[in-house]
């Protein structure tokens, strides 16, 4: 066995952090260089989950870094410290199916999940399920747009149960895997094996269950699997990008069963939650980000968590190409110019209603009082100026009025603008507020 230079590990990790920032995780500090023997560098992780992440995602990155650090054509392999990981042995792993091991991301734990008004219910339910699987919220159905943490919550439940109830046997798979296994079982005449596999677990966790749509035979099989597990008080956890009733061509009996437990929405995070997410992601990747940059990223990106993380990775990569410092100007360069957002008619309604102290419902009603018709005309005028909606579409927002009404309202307001510069300034202020709301 070759002698390992004391600085070799620091050089390898430094290369990975520099050239593969998207792969770096906070727990990389816990890794250790175990041995260098026969051109193979062994890297020791604390547990099997970390070792699996390294094998699946980091093999090439660490090999390149090791070759650069040693100047030799070496390879790397990853192992887990079994003394620290009671689940390292595949034969005793509680999260295995007869021929397939559950793959979990080490980052997807409750400690790394950021809560806010957008996901508080789903997070609280997931914690309760992890403490008492099969006893509360069964089934549990989490839904929402992509990138908002559904998979994170599902895996966090599995991690927590593995830690506190190592004897429990959970099966965590994607809906596509379930369907593929069913098709293989039908083709090979192994339906008995398939049914035993999925109906004799303590918990079934299926991600992206919306892919059952249009799959009649798969829905039939899943229906019976669901009933078997539910009647024996085994935990069922599902996720989808929409609510059960919105999954197209899903059988009514499945919709009814999915709705029989807790259905929790994960919505887009608010500004404060987005800031907390950026801080958490930066800490996880060992990146020092000034608070002003955190605010910039959170204000620019309001779609999903994956895009927040992608922006953070881009900023860090750009900083590594320079002096390594992350500044506000560097972040602005990385994110580019702020795109202009399209103004929406609901935003115009909200701003005008607030400015004239009337209700939005009044602006959309048939009421013809001057206190209502004047701000209603302003709304129609601004909608024509600020949006790409047609006259008919604009009229539809105001109680189904036709295009001639919208044209009349626009002419009335245009005449007032020509007669009064102060009124024109008021409209400009309302337009600016509507852009901020959108």
pLDDT reported for residue 10:
86
pLDDT reported for residue 24:
82
Segments in the chain below pLDDT 50: 86-101
Specify the CATH number for 274-335; select among 3.30.365.10, 3.20.20.150, 1.10.8.60, 3.40.50.2000: 1.10.8.60
* Domain ranges across the chain: 8-80, 110-265, 274-335, 345-437
pLDDT reported for residue 97:
42
pLDDT reported for residue 348:
93
When the pLDDT of each residue in the chain is averaged and rounded to a whole number, the result is 85
Q: What is the CATH number of domain 110-265?
A: 3.40.50.300
pLDDT reported for residue 87:
46
pLDDT reported for residue 259:
93
Asked whether the whole model's pTM tops 0.85, one would answer no
Q: What is the CATH number of domain 345-437?
A: 1.10.1750.10
CB burial readout 110-144, b (16+ within 10 A) else e: bebbbbbebbebbbebbbbbbeebbeebbbbbbbb
Q: Which residues contact 213 (CB under 8 A, 6 or more apart)?
A: 247, 248, 249, 250
Per DSSP, the chain holds a count of helices (H) and strands (E) of 19, 10
| CATH class of the region 8-80 | alpha beta
Q: How many CB atoms lie within 10 A of CB 208?
A: 18
pLDDT reported for residue 268:
81
pLDDT reported for residue 337:
66
Cβ proximity of 268 and 304 under 8 Å: yes
Residues 257-279 pLDDT 10s: 999 999 999 988 888 888 899 88
Cβ proximity of 47 and 55 under 8 Å: no
pLDDT reported for residue 146:
84
């Amino acid at each position: 066995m070759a002698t390992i230079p004391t600085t070799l590990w620091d050089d390898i990790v430094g290369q990975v952090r520099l050239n593969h920032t998207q792969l770096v995780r906070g727990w990389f500090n816990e890794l250790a260089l175990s041995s260098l023997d026969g051109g193979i560098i062994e890297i020791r992780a604390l547990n099997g989950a970390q070792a699996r992440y390294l094998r699946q995602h980091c093999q090439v990155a660490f090999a390149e870094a090791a070759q650069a650090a040693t100047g030799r054509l070496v390879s790397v392999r990853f192992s887990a410290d079994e003394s620290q990981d009671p689940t390292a042995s595949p034969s005793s792993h509680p999260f295995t199916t007869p021929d397939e091991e559950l793959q979990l991301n080490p980052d997807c734990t409750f400690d790394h999940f950021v809560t806010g008004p957008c996901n508080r219910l789903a997070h609280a339910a997931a914690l309760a399920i992890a403490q008492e699987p099969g006893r509360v919220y069964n089934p549990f159905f989490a839904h929402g747009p992509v990138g908002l943490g559904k998979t994170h919550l599902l895996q966090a439940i599995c991690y927590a149960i593995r830690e506190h109830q190592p004897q429990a046997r959970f099966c965590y798979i994607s809906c596509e895997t379930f369907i593929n296994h069913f098709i293989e079982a039908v083709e090979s005449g192994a339906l008995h094996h398939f049914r035993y596999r999925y109906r004799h677990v303590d918990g079934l966790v299926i991600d992206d269950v919306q892919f059952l749509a249009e799959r009649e035979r798969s829905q039939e099989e899943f229906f019976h699997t669901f009933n078997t597990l539910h009647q024996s008080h085994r935990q069922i956890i599902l996720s989808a990008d929409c609510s059960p009733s919105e999954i197209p061509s899903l059988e009514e009996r499945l919709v009814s069963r999915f709705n029989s437990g807790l259905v929790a929405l994960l919505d887009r995070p608010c500004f404060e939650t987005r800031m907390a997410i950026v801080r958490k992601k930066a800490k996880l990747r060992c990146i020092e980000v000034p608070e002003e940059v955190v605010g910039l990223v959170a204000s620019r990106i309001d779609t999903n968590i994956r895009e927040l993380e992608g922006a953070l990775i881009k900023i860090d990569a750009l900083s590594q190409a320079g002096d390594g410092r992350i500044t506000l100007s560097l972040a602005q360069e990385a994110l580019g110019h702020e795109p202009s957002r399209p103004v929406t008619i609901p935003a115009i309604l909200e701003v005008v209603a607030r400015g004239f102290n009337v209700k939005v419902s009044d602006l959309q009603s048939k009421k013809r009082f001057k206190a209502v018709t004047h701000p209603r005309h302003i709304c129609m005028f601004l909608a024509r100026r600020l949006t790409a909606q047609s006259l008919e579409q604009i009229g539809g927002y105001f109680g189904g009025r036709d295009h001639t009404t919208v044209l009349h309202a626009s002419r009335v307001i245009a005449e007032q603008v020509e007669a009064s510069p102060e009124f024109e300034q008021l409209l400009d202020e309302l337009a600016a507020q509507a852009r901020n709301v959108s």
